[in-house]
Amino acid sequence: MTDRQPSNRQSPSHQPQSRQAPGPKRLRHRPLSPLREHLRDSFWFAPLLTCLAAVLVAGATTWLDEQLVEGAIADTGSAADLMAFTSGAKAVVSTVSSAMLTFIGVVFSISLVALQMAASQMSPRVLRLYVRSRITKATFSVCLATFLFTLLVQLGYDDTTDPTKITSVPVVSTVVAVLLVMLSLTLFVLYVQSTQRLLRVPHVIDRVTRESVGVLTTYRWMAPEAGPRLDPPPDSVTLLHAGNSGVLRDVNLARLVRAARRHDAVFHLVPRIGDFIAPGTPTVVVVGGTPPRPHRITSALNIGVDRTMHQDLSFGFRQLVDIAIRALSPAVNDPTTAVQAIDRIHQLLAMLAGYPFGELRYRDRTGTIRLVQPIPDWQCTIDLAFTEIRICGGGQPQVSRRLAAALDDLLRITPEDRRPPLLAQRTLLERAVAEHVPDPENRAFALAPDRQGIG
């Protein structure tokens, strides 16, 4: 549905224009492919693949066992030598089958405890790290595949006791089952080590920071044009969301660029990644050309119940801030953890100090701008990074001293036009400390910059 009638008039500043050589940078699809990230956020895909592989391997090993028996009968006229291996092999496979299900329960129990502890000590937002953990998925997948493989192998057992009539002896199947058990045990040790690391706050903070740096690096690799926001002309057509309510997790940029090219238009995304949208919320402003059907736009928007790091750099700040303010809560009272989060916030802001803000512009293969995506500006990023920590940590000298050091350092490295938000945060920090620390000497100590807080 639309709230304005289509118009063929276009504003000169938004009219699609092609650039001549040297060729313009076009949208590169692979780094921000939603499918890859959605599969990483799911927990069913890897176990499904390994279970299918277990079915195929079980069929292959059963066939090899049959060929082995046929070869023995053809050579000696009997498979008596192989039958001596049968009882022990069946016992091994049966034991593995029964024990592996218990083993899976232990792994699952450890995961539930780890998730509960992480949510209570850090933030529910960091639970996604456990879901995306490759070692966790690999451990579950291999254990399930081992269990399924041993079950299928037992279905192919031959109970004949006549050495001349037996058709299969589980020699190859047993060897494969033992190898799978060894792999499962190795992955279990690595899984326990990985879980212990994910329960440590510094490691979680480091993981969130590395993912945030990865998002920023990906956008730089794609090299979309960035610049100040330009409002679409008033006669543009606005398309409204026609799907389910939820958080805008990511956008299929390649699909929107192709759709805009087909309709000879420029799409201006209205919501930012991480915004909550409901039916009737404006999603795209169409400039020029003919507007597509709203459902085509909706199909390119991934709506979910929570945010992801796929295209959302602000979500990295959100997680770090949540960890910091939870550590500063009276129930936890752990300012050192808050300082560790501020360290990483400082790192990310230093990387963004010279990065252009406003909106990103993507071009099609002919060099024509087809998609304009809004991103948070510098002011919004600074407010997100410091405001809540400043309010919650005004009475903690370790936190206020680290905040002062971060702000002073950023004031030294940022361009002149980006210093006002930092200066405002510095002034507000002094006010927050003054409210909590009335003594002048203690107040001066609490505002002295220190990269370790109190070090």
Integer-rounded Cα radius of gyration of the chain: 30
**pLDDT number for residue 29:** 39
Residue 434 lies in a domain: yes
Q: Return mean pLDDT, the chain.
A: 83
Query: 33-37, 252-256, 329-333, 414-418: which range is least confident on average?
Result: 33-37
Domain boundary among 171, 199, 227: 199
Indicate whether 69 belongs to any domain: yes
84: pLDDT confidence band, cut at 50, 70 and 90?
low
Which amino acid is it at 319?
Answer: Q
Q: Are 205 and 344 in contact (CB under 8 A)?
A: yes
pLDDT at 192 over 70: yes
If one counts the domains in the chain, the total is: 2
Residue 251 lies in a domain: no
| 425 vs 431: CA distance, rounded Å | 10
Same domain flag for 54 and 188: yes
pLDDT at 4: 40
Lowest mean pLDDT among 76-90, 130-144, 386-400, 424-438: 76-90
- Pair 49, 192 in one domain: yes
Answer whether residue 126 is part of any domain: yes
- Residue 173 in any domain: the answer is yes
pLDDT digits (tens, 9 = 90+) for 99-115: 888 888 888 888 888 87
In a domain, 370, yes or no: no
pLDDT band of 129, cuts 50, 70, 90? confident
- Is the pLDDT confidence value at 173 over 60? yes
12 or 171, higher pLDDT: 171
Residues 326, 182: one domain?
no
**Position 115 in a domain:** yes
pLDDT at 79: 55
Least confident of 186-195, 212-221, 230-239: 212-221
Please state at what angle helix 201-222 crosses helix 313-327, rounded to 10 degrees: 160
Tell me whether residue 349 is in a domain. Answer: yes
Domain span at 117: 36-199
Which carries the bigger pLDDT value, residue 384 or residue 215? 384
Q: Return the sign of the alpha-carbon dihedral for residues 207, 209, 214, 219.
A: positive
Strands, E assignment, 201-337 = 225-227, 237-240, 246-251, 266-269, 276-277, 282-287, 301-304
SS3 content of the chain, % helix, strand, coil (to 5): 60, 10, 30
pLDDT > 90: what percent of the chain?
A: 43
